[in-house]
């Protein structure tokens, strides 16, 4: 259930509904919030952010509710369901196992599991994006600091949440491989910069 919930391609569906386009053919080709914001605009972009985050939250709470029926600790069951939602978002069955980068869904999962470390991670992301205007860099750094923040702040089920957050951070880094290459080359698009309308992600992207 967590995987199928995470697999719902919010960015793709919202792009079709609002603009009648396949968002994968524009901008970076990603179905997540950052590309939706650039390609679709503010309101549809925020809808993608909210729905992708909501998938993570709902998956965790489904895990909480179902786990006692299987004799599993609800916190562990919620964590497993949340991790599967992230995997579903990243490799959705509905788009031939090609999905988003998992940042918003990961946010929803850890907002539910470890709210205090999550808030600190968001502050890290805001700080990095504020200084550099690179959403991708902020996502990578905040994702990688989350395990440390959880280890520092969470006592109950600390080992499990740390392992879970390390896996989630690994997914974020893996899915941002192309962004890391562009960052190293100085070619990454900054927040507020616009891509040319109609430019495919298969073509050269000009801010």
The lowest-confidence range among 15-24, 177-186, 197-206 is 197-206
**What residues have CB less than 8 Å from 178, skipping those under 6 apart?**
28
Give pLDDT, residue 196: 46
Residue 53 has pLDDT above 60, yes or no: yes
Would you say the C-alpha torsion 178, 179, 181, 186 has a positive or negative sign? positive
Residue 118 structure tokens:
């999550």
Nearest alpha carbon to residue 118 among 53, 180, 30: 53
The lowest-confidence range among 106-120, 121-135, 143-157, 190-204 is 190-204
Distance in angstroms (rounded) separating the CA atoms of residues 125 and 142: 5
Per-residue model confidence as pLDDT tens digits over 31-42 = 999 899 989 999
Distance in angstroms (rounded) separating the CA atoms of residues 43 and 124: 25
Q: Tell me the mean pLDDT in the region 110-127.
A: 96
The radius of gyration of the chain from alpha carbons, rounded to an integer in Å, stands at 17
Domain boundaries, the chain: 2-185
pTM comes to 0.89
Distance in angstroms (rounded) separating the CA atoms of residues 8 and 86: 11
Residue 175 structure tokens:
């899915």
């Amino acid at each position: 259930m967590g995987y199928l919930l995470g697999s719902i391609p919010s960015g793709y569906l919202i792009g079709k509904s609002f603009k009648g386009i396949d968002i994968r053919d524009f901008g970076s080709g990603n179905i997540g919030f950052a590309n939706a914001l650039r390609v679709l605009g503010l309101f549809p972009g925020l809808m993608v952010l909210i729905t992708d985050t909501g998938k993570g939250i709902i998956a965790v709470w489904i895990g909480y509710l179902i786990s006692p029926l299987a004799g599993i600790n609800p916190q562990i069951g919620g964590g497993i369901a949340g991790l599967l939602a992230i995997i579903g978002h990243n490799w959705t069955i509905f788009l031939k196992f090609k999905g988003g980068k998992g940042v918003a869904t990961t946010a929803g999962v850890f907002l539910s599991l470890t709210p205090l470390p999550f808030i600190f991670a968001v502050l890290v992301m805001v700080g990095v994006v504020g200084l550099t205007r690179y959403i991708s860099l902020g996502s990578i750094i905040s994702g990688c600091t989350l395990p440390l923040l959880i280890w520092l702040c969470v006592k109950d089920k600390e080992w499990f949440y740390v392992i879970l957050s390390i896996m989630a951070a690994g997914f974020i880094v893996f899915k941002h491989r192309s962004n890391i290459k562009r960052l190293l080359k100085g070619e990454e698009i900054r927040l507020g910069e616009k891509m040319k309308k109609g430019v495919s992600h298969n073509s050269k992207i000009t801010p």
